[in-house]
Amino acid sequence: MKFRVSVRLFCFLLFFWISSSVVYAIDDDIEQEILTLKERVQINPEDAVLNSELGLAFLKTGNYAEAVVPFNRAIEIAPQEAWYHYFLSLAYAGLGKHTEKFTALEETIRLNPKLAEAQFRFALAQAALEQHQEAIEHYKTALKLHPTIEKGHYYLALSYFLSNRYLESIESLKEELKQNPDHAESSYTLGLAYILAGQYEKSIEPIKKALQINPVLAKENITLSVAKPVQK
């Protein structure tokens, strides 16, 4: 029974990830899906997977408040399923309920520490609370599980940077730029990290590159002027 439920959950997750990229192209289909799932949940209210499917359908339409109820119901039925807590965290994030989101993510990684997405989002939540030392550990865990997670090394670098760990920030930014060479913010932050690490000459090129990619950063061009006198 547990295996059957896990397969059903996996199949729906796969569908959710694929279809989420074309949400607005299939609005009518999603509305029909929600109606169908509501009917199925009424018939089988103790089915955790059906409740989670309904919650995910609400997530796809941006109905975060409505998603909370079926996710909580799924958790009541199957409290040890980490994914349900993770989905609930997404609904709370959409509602801007950060305390509840934090709690749901904390429970997710307690149940399954190998969920890279949850580790990463938990790190982001900790960083937002300026808990950078804790955030660093969860970023590192997420990157071990998923080395190419989008902007993962960049956000890790920011927590290093904001903890005055500039050399470690530099290494993380270099890694991010290997994966995403045109990310202006990474190049710019790399330049700043070099300056604060006392490596002034190395700061010039990444800051120049950042300004070429994103001229809006030019308003902070004072940083470049500070570094220029050191260049020989």
In a domain, 152, yes or no: no
CA atoms within 13 A on the CB side of 205: 4
In a domain, 178, yes or no: no
Distance separating alpha carbons of residues 125 and 123, to the nearest angstrom: 5
**Looking at residue 68, which CATH number applies to its domain?**
1.25.40.10
Distance separating alpha carbons of residues 97 and 54, to the nearest angstrom: 20
In a domain, 146, yes or no: no
pLDDT of residue 124: 96
In a domain, 70, yes or no: yes
Distance separating alpha carbons of residues 138 and 135, to the nearest angstrom: 5
pLDDT of residue 220: 58
Mean pLDDT of the chain: 87
Q: How confident is the model at residue 2 (pLDDT cuts 50, 70, 90)?
A: very low
Give the chain's end-to-end CA distance (angstroms, integer).
Answer: 71
The tens digit of pLDDT for each residue in 67-99 reads: 999 999 999 999 999 999 999 999 999 999 999
In a domain, 88, yes or no: yes
Q: Is the pLDDT of residue 152 over 80?
A: yes
DSSP 26: S
Q: Is the pLDDT of residue 228 over 60?
A: no
In a domain, 64, yes or no: yes
Mean pLDDT of 5-17: 46
Q: Percentage of the chain with pLDDT > 70?
A: 82
Report yes or no: 56 and 19 within 8 Å, Cβ to Cβ.
no
Q: How confident is the model at residue 30 (pLDDT cuts 50, 70, 90)?
A: confident
Q: Is the pLDDT of residue 129 over 80?
A: yes
Mean pLDDT of 39-54: 96
In a domain, 208, yes or no: no
Say how many domains are in the chain: 1
In a domain, 161, yes or no: no
Report yes or no: 224 and 208 within 8 Å, Cβ to Cβ.
yes
Distance separating alpha carbons of residues 193 and 177, to the nearest angstrom: 14
Structural domain including 51 reads: 20-112
List of residues 6+ apart from 168 with CB closer than 8 A? 157, 160
For residue 147, what are the CA distances in angstroms to 26, 84, 156, 161, 186?
32, 24, 12, 20, 17
Give SS3 for 113. coil
The tens digit of pLDDT for each residue in 165-224 reads: 999 999 999 999 999 999 999 999 999 999 999 999 999 999 999 999 998 887 655 444
Q: Which carries the bigger pLDDT value, residue 7 or residue 57?
A: 57
